[in-house]
Structure 1
């Protein structure tokens, strides 16, 4: 995607690079911590490296790591990763009008490379689908620039974390740093009343169900937040088109 010359030579590509570069240090810190956490949890450097290259989903990796270390059943690990990544279904629905003219292989690559912050930046700059070929190229060039920085920062830092895992002391508190990174990303996405309610419900449910084994409180939190949001949307309590204004 970001290797295509038509995108790299477009002015929007450079703008995408600039915008995503503002959060590159945060992404790198998160990636470094995730790389260290994978090895500290018992994965070999090869396994951790393959997980980084193939999965490329920080929150899902962080959710799966303690379950792998605890020897949880595979269905629990897969269900947890699936639930953590449910937000990408919403991203895909919103991006569909922007991407359906692309060949399938390019849509698949774009889906793999698009992360939380690349989606946020793209949705802010291009809230509407392209109307002509020039707009299509501009939009994809901007997204390619976003993804290039995001992918590079994550991969380099995560693989560096894997390489340095046995050198970096656990006492540095990298796990807590990861929690702070996730909170920062989460708080930046709370841009409406409905999202604030869902965040509050998920946090409360996770704390209430903390005693459940195998980190199942995560599943309870996600299910509770989704359920309450569906009820609020069905009853019209969130206000008309509120979510659409904040996408």
Structure 2
């Protein structure tokens, strides 16, 4: 997790400084990272709140952005379903994109040692995220507007680093390419639900290709 903890330095600093520059107090900004712990949702929520967006719109938008975590939960459910609630709840809290990327081993979360390992990795990222947010708060208070430095590219770079190693077959490749193309096209057209539409389209394409491949192999 250490490389990923370092990779989100610009992301955390941007989140902290953006909140301060949009009128949030230091306590409010740090509390958001402590309680929400979701970088992309926080960045969007900060801009929406600063723009006096209606509460329902803020809730719906952040819900959509964070909806992928429901899929993460379903993906690891069978590994933790036999564990007591005292283990499942903290695992669910730290199950970020980064930890999920390391959750595909067949024995992940299966034993107490592996649960401790997963929680240690997850909470190390949580600690780093809050540290970078704090640095962003300080930077936002002392330095000029940091939003023009291109720090938001850290978001794209982090997800690229997580996704690329997972491309191991045609279905996954088609899913990634479809998601990228659809997201770019829909967002450029101003479609509000571009993220959801791109994700659903990409998953559909990947599923179809996977089914076709399995059917072809079965026939052979």
Instruction: Classify the TM-score, shorter chain.
Output: 0.7 to 0.9
- 1:18-71 CA-to-partner distances (Å, cap 9, x unmatched) read xx1122211233212211111112211121121111111111001111111111
Counterpart pick for 2:155 among 162, 182, 202? 182
8 A contact 1:27–1:150 mirrored in 2 = no
- Name the counterpart of 2:127: 152
8 A contact 1:32–1:161 mirrored in 2 = yes
Alignment of 1:12-161 (within 5 A): 20-123=1-104, 126-127=105-106, 135-161=110-136
How far did residue 168 of structure 1 move?
A: 2.1
Which deviates further from its counterpart, 81-90 or 180-189?
180-189
How far did residue 241 of structure 1 move?
A: 7.9
Counterpart pick for 2:209 among 237, 240, 244? 237
Q: Secondary structure of the equivalent of 1:50?
A: helix
8 A contact 1:122–1:142 mirrored in 2 = no
CA distance in 2 between partners of 1:58 and 1:105 (Å): 25
Q: Secondary structure of the equivalent of 2:130?
A: helix
Q: Which runs of 5+ in 1 are unaligned?
A: 1-19, 210-216, 243-247
Which deviates further from its counterpart, 33-42 or 221-230?
221-230
CA distance in 2 between partners of 1:233 and 1:84 (Å): 21
- 1:128-160 CA-to-partner distances (Å, cap 9, x unmatched) read 567xxxx51242133123113211111111122
Q: Secondary structure of the equivalent of 1:164?
A: helix
The count of corresponding residues between Structure 1 and Structure 2 is 206
Which deviates further from its counterpart, 158-167 or 182-191?
182-191
Q: Which runs of 5+ in 2 are unaligned?
A: 215-220
8 A contact 1:34–1:62 mirrored in 2 = yes
TM-score by length of 2: 0.83
Cα distance change of structure 1 residues 205 and 106 upon mapping to structure 2, 3 Å threshold: same
CA distance in 2 between partners of 1:75 and 1:241 (Å): 43
8 A contact 1:36–1:161 mirrored in 2 = yes
Alignment of 1:192-231 (within 5 A): 192=172, 193-209=174-190, 217=191, 219-229=192-202, 231=204
